Amino acid sequence: MALISIASRGTTLEYGMPGQPLVILLHDWYGRLSSMDDYGIPLAQRGFHVLVPDLFNGWAATNASDAAGLLDRLNPSTALNIIGELIHSGRTHGAPRVGLVGFSVGGWLALLLAQSGSLDAVVAYDAVLNDIEPGVLPCPVQLHFAGMNGPDPEPFVARLLADGTALERFDDFTAAHSFASTSISTLTTQSDALAFARTTQFLERYLLD
């Protein structure tokens, strides 16, 4: 398995000012590649305090085979604790609202954590919760699904609707799995911009005053 060492390994990247509405970005199974900077900086410019943790302890992959091996190293409990501590710290430093944006495995972690009631909004790309992960998501949820190779969204979407969760769903049939990783994927520039615009509008609606 050929992994690459990322910049600022093991640390949390930060954009914007503490005390602003907090958005935590959770990378996908490839690790924290440079596309996370491209996503986080524009969010900070829109008035958010953005944090981007490294959930793979300094390592990333550039192909699906290596990413699958890297994913095997993930300890979900440890990752959820890291994210939970960032949420607690953000609120301690004055963040009035907190949202998570997660991609692939990061989206799965975001949805899991949203069940705790500690979030004000969550956005998940190519991620669902399955039947052995029951629980209500009390905050508004925005879901993005790729047109190929992604999870089957229908059971999870039906569950959210039955629970009365405030839900937005978007399907992009020009995208490949993990399309949010612009460092890797074949997502078109137009689709990437549209997904980002939808996410930004959603976060502004539920996190900004």
pLDDT tens column, 36-94: 888 899 999 999 999 999 999 999 888 888 888 888 989 999 999 999 999 999 999 99
Give the pLDDT of residue 151.
Answer: 80
**H helical segments located in the chain:** 35-45, 64-71, 76-92, 105-114, 154-163, 189-207
Task: State pTM to two decimals.
Answer: 0.92
Mean pLDDT of 105-133: 95
- Is 90 exceeded by the pLDDT of residue 134? no
CA distance 101 to 43: 11
Question: Would you state the structure tokens that stand for residue 32, as one six-digit string?
Answer: 């924290």
* Domains of the chain from N-terminus onward: 11-207 (3.40.50.1820)
Higher pLDDT, 7 or 74: 74
